[in-house]
Structure 1
Amino acid sequence: MLSPKKTKFRKQFKGRIHGVAKGGTDLNFGQYGLKALDPERVNAREIEAARRAITREMKRMGRVWIRIFPDVPVSSKPTEVRMGKGKGAPEFWACRVKPGRIMFEIDGVSEEIAREALRLGAAKLSVRTRFVQRIAE
């Protein structure tokens, strides 16, 4: 699973996901992509599950680019623990995804295979998505 090698701080504030994506809104590498429609936190497990589903459907043809990286540590306290006594231990890594962000790109396969692969990948994510395609020039 994806996670940073090292970070400046072990724990982070929760924060909010406001507005739309400023960068990463266009297809840069592949012919087809998966674009987020909602502001959401996507964790490393979801990204890995989506990547596996996409590559399995493509039968190792073509290429996949992951355009998001989980760099936010999410901490939580164990169940039935009283309030106070500090913040919980880091539980998992997540990525804040804004609407309009391209999350996955693929190339080297037909449109039908790409559409089906990204549909299966999108089923593993907690965010609503849309299939996008490069405009033929």
Structure 2
Amino acid sequence: MALMPKRVKHRKSQRGRIKGKAQRGNRVVFGDYGLQALQGGWIKATTIESGRIAAQQYIRGEGRLYIRVFPHKSVTSRPLETRMGKGKGEPDHWVAVVREGTILFELNGVTEQQAKLCFARLAHKMPVRVRMVRRRPA
């Protein structure tokens, strides 16, 4: 089941634009290793879910996976072959708005080699370029 908010203030949102680097959510906090976005973009709820499944299948219960992004934004679409006018389309799917530097996923309780392989599988599914980062010493 793909992620989506329980309720929102407005059903339809404007597109907006993604500028600058992430001010928050750009450090590894919960795990030892993180997957960091190197460019901004939208990540669909189904993409986040497919990444979660790929990572869970790889770590097989010996580590813990943390998902650091949530799809709050609705994306609308009009039916195919519809004439212009008649307003904005209905909400089609949900996306997480990701800025450059945002940590998308974190892993805990696995070796660095396992984390590298797991994040390599995740990186193939992501629509933005990503890299693996280590937790900074406190």
Give TM-score scaled by structure 2 length.
Answer: 0.96
Instruction: Report the counterpart of residue 78 of structure 2 in structure 1.
Output: 77
CA RMSD of the aligned region, Å?
Answer: 1.0
Q: What is the correspondence of 1:9-28 to structure 2 with a 5 Å cutoff?
A: 9-28=10-29
Structure 1 residue 79: Cα displacement: 1.3
The verdict on how the C-alpha distance between 1:10 and 1:135 changes in structure 2, with shifts beyond 3 A counting, is closer
Counterpart in the other structure of 1:58 = 59
Return the alpha-carbon distance in structure 1 between the equivalents of residues 79 and 26 of structure 2: 37
Separation in structure 2 between the aligned mates of residue 117 and residue 55 of structure 1, nearest angstrom: 9
The within-5 A match list for 1:80-95 is 80-95=81-96
Q: How does 1:116-127 map to 2 (within 5 A)?
A: 116-127=117-128
1:68-106 per-position Cα deviation (integer Å, ceiling 9, x unaligned): 000000001011111110100100000110000000000
> Which structure 2 segments of 5+ residues have no match?
none
Question: What secondary structure, in the 3-state scheme, does the structure 2 residue paired with 1:132 have?
Answer: strand
User: What percentage of residue pairs aligned between the two structures are identical?
Assistant: 43
Shift of 1:115: 0.6
- For 1:21 and 1:136, the matched residues in 2 are separated by 20
User: How big is each residue's C-alpha offset from its partner over 1:31-58, in whole Å with a ceiling of 9 and x where there is no partner?
Assistant: 0000001110001000000111111111
The residue that corresponds to 1:4 in the other structure is: 5
Aligned structure 1 segments of 4 or more residues deviating by more than 3 angstroms: none
Q: CA deviation at 1:136?
A: 5.2
Task: Structure 1: give runs of 5+ residues left out of the alignment.
Answer: none
Amino acid at match of 2:85: G
Deviations 1:3-39 (A, max 9, x none): 0000011100011011110101111100000000111
1:33 is paired with a residue of what secondary structure?
strand
What residue number does 1:110 align with? 111
